[in-house]
Structure 1
Amino acid sequence: MTAESDEREVAVGNDEGEPEGEGSGRPLGSRAPHFIRRSRALHLSWQVVVFLVGLAVVALGVVLLPLPGPGWVVIFAGMAIWATEFVWAQLVLRWTRRKVTEAAQRALDPAVRRRNIILTTVGLVIIGVLAAVYLERYGFVMPWNAN
């Protein structure tokens, strides 16, 4: 490779000529090492391994959803693994990142924060009243004294 072709790879994003993503700064496509992308069979087996590892991580995240644990974080980690190799996963992660950023900005809005504080307070008052009614009616019995 010459210096001129190296400059072209940097400008285009990758040596396969895949288009760059909109407004992201990072090119779309495989992030596999060059020596792997050079061989079709090696690149295909690389993609299969990346897919299977990502699938295992996403499946673990799905299992963790109803259990105590960081289910969504693990799912997004699996998506990030897929995004190292597949354009569709890169696009999904970019869309998700944009939506999370927008939601965070909305949550910082003073009117939204005030509404959330009011709703939380009302919910806590309702739970407190229900707990007081229950305790008044049935009393409080320690679990080891219950028969």
Structure 2
Amino acid sequence: MVSEVELRRDIAEGENPAHPLRRMLRSLRAWIDTRPRLRSVYRLVVGVFGGGTAILGLLLVPLPGPGWLIVFLGLALLGTEFRWARRLAGFLKRSMSRFWAWWNKRRAARAA
């Protein structure tokens, strides 16, 4: 089992802007941004792949499994290119958080 301290350290290491993978991705993105046609193709691929992932997640929501997780993954993919997807993901995260707080409060009241 991973301790909370190790988990925080791993998260901080992954978010480090000087991490070699992040530097490589930034340089690749800068290279793509200098080529308008490639940028359009990139946005189209991200849109199709992210949208497909989000739709797949929505189809899996009623089934047991990680439906909402897949929806958020699709929105995160879309959010790398589209601002509306970042805003929608934030709204859904806040709504889910409020729902789970209400649900837990309701369960505690029923148990008491």
TM bucket normalised to smaller: 0.5 to 0.7
Give how far 1:99 is off: 4.1
Q: Deviations over 1:97-128 (max 9, x none)?
A: 44455x28x939xxx73x53232x38xxxxxx
Residue 118 (str. 1) matches residue 109 (str. 2) = yes
Separation in 2, partners of 1:99, 1:63 = 19
Partner in structure 1 of residue 60 of structure 2? 64
Residue 75 (str. 1) matches residue 66 (str. 2) = no
1:83-122 residue pairs with structure 2 within 5 A? Answer: 83-100=79-96, 103=98, 107=101, 113=105, 115-119=106-110, 121=111
Gaps of at least 5 residues in structure 1 are 1-30, 123-147
- What is the TM-score with the length of structure 1 in the denominator? 0.48
Q: Deviations over 1:4-63 (max 9, x none)?
A: xxxxxxxxxxxxxxxxxxxxxxxxxxx870111111100000001001111221122122
Question: What amino acid sits opposite 2:45 in the alignment?
Answer: V
Instruction: Flag the structure with larger Rg.
Output: 1
**Identical counterparts, % of pairs:** 32
Separation in 1, partners of 2:61, 2:96 = 19
Question: Over the residues paired in the alignment, what is the CA RMSD in angstroms?
Answer: 2.9
SS of 1:33's partner is helix
Separation in 1, partners of 2:90, 2:62 = 26
SS of 1:96's partner is helix
Partner in structure 1 of residue 48 of structure 2? 52
Gaps of at least 5 residues in structure 2 are 1-25
SS of 1:68's partner is coil
Separation in 2, partners of 1:95, 1:107 = 15
Residue 41 (str. 1) matches residue 41 (str. 2) = no
* Count of residues in correspondence between the two structures: 85
